[in-house]
Amino acid sequence: MTDAGVRLTGPRVVTLAYDGLCTFEVGVAVEVFALPRPEMGRDWYRHAIASIEPGPLRAVGGLTVTVDGGLSLLNDADLIVIPGWRSIDAPVPETLVAALRKAHAKGARLVSLCSGVRVAAATGLLDGRRATTHWRYVETIRALHPAVTLMPNVLYVDEEDVLTAAGSAAGIDLCLHIIRKDYGAEAANSVARRLVVPPHRDGGQAQFIQAPVARTRESTRLSPLLDWMRERLPQDLSIETLARRAGMSPRTLQRRFHETTGLGPGEWVLRERLTRAKVLLETEPAAALEDIAAAIGLGSSATLRHHFRTRLGTTPNAYRRQFTLCRSA
């Protein structure tokens, strides 16, 4: 394989393709590992796409994918990228499992993006080890592969020979991490500049998880109280205050509240306050952290920072910078 007329000699990267392919994750692998980068020299990655089954291969969005070969390409692979799987609970073909295990035994690193962890886990190579995936798929993977220790709040996990990324965009973070390990920070920063993304993102995917929604069957019982609470986040929302408002004993309210939301009142209030804080950080770039903390009922910027670190794995300023970068890019 050549890059601007230069024969490359670096690690062989093979990205898997299949019918029902996740377009974004394949695009990430191609952009990072297959795009011509003559500034990186001859020792840059060599990339190929391998089909796991006979074509035609239709990708999400109506595209048809042309590949460089079949699973035999894995025999010489140094790095194998597994894009998001076609369905989180779809079975993984035994031929693919065998080919991945064989390639891994020969020294290839496996890299799963988003729901691609389903394939990586099916090989058994993650048993007793850490991994991540998109937060929507965590419980399904836990049920299908209980021997895997899932880390639901991080962007990626590096277990040296098996690496896993959370959501689709977290695949970019993981690929940049791989470049950083293979070629150093300067090379990773160069690729990040071309992609117009940060070379390293603070925090984890917990900051992007949607706030819990009341369960439909129970929601009508406490909906007026929940609306009342959302309108008064800066105020005292102790269990005693809420019980008086609902006309219940604190114990009854605790039970009804958990039946409705899956959370205790205190946890629900904290999550709502953090959700409101994220909105203000995204939309009010000049607002002081002290003012935001007061507006959502957390009292001080120190308390706001504490909960961002412990609950979201980042800081308010780091979270705000992500959206500042997006607006200026």
What are the pLDDT digits (tens) for 319-329?
Answer: 887 665 544 44
pTM of the predicted model as reported, rounded to 2 decimal places: 0.65
- Residue-level pLDDT at 178: 93
pLDDT band at 265 (very low <50, low <70, confident <90, very high): very high
Name the residue with tokens 């607002």.
287
Residue of higher predicted confidence among 194 and 208: 194
Q: Which residues partner with 79 through β-bridges?
A: 13, 109
Residue 221 pLDDT level (bands cut at 50, 70, 90) = low
Over residues 192-204, mean pLDDT: 71
Confidence of residue 194 (pLDDT cuts 50, 70, 90): confident
Which segment, 90-99, 172-181, 188-197, is predicted with the most confidence on average?
90-99
Residue 296 has pLDDT above 90, yes or no: yes
Q: How large is the average pLDDT for residues 242-270?
A: 88
Task: Give me the helix-helix angle, 250-261 and 265-283, nearest 10°.
Answer: 50
Among residues 93, 110, 85, 81, the alpha carbon closest in space to that of 22 is found at 85
Q: Is residue 160 part of a domain?
A: yes
Lowest mean pLDDT among 69-83, 168-182, 313-327: 313-327
Same domain, 177 and 44: yes
| Distance separating alpha carbons of residues 82 and 209, to the nearest angstrom | 23
209 falls within a domain: no
Would the pLDDT of 78 be above 90?
A: yes
* 141 and 278 housed in the same domain: no
Same domain, 74 and 184: yes
Domain-embedded: residue 299: yes
The total number of structural domains in the chain stands at 2
Q: Is the pLDDT of residue 205 over 80?
A: no
Q: What number of other Cβ atoms are within 10 A of residue 199's Cβ?
A: 18
Average of per-residue pLDDT across 56-63: 83
Domain residues for the domain of 322 are 216-328
Give a yes or no: residue 208 inside a domain.
no
Cis geometry, peptide bond prior to residue 56 (ω within 30 degrees of 0):
yes
The CATH number linked to 164 is 3.40.50.880
Q: In the prediction, which pLDDT does 243 show?
A: 92
Q: Domain of 232: which CATH number?
A: 1.10.10.60
Can you tell me the distance from the alpha carbon of 45 to that of 3, in angstroms, rounded to the nearest whole number? 10
Residue 202 has pLDDT above 50, yes or no: yes
Mean pLDDT computed over 144-159: 90
Are residues 172 and 281 located together in one domain of the fold?
no
Instruction: Work out the average pLDDT over 246-264.
Output: 86
Average pLDDT over residues 218-247: 85
Rounded distance between C-alpha atoms, residue 190 and residue 126, angstroms? 31
Specify the pLDDT at position 96.
Answer: 97
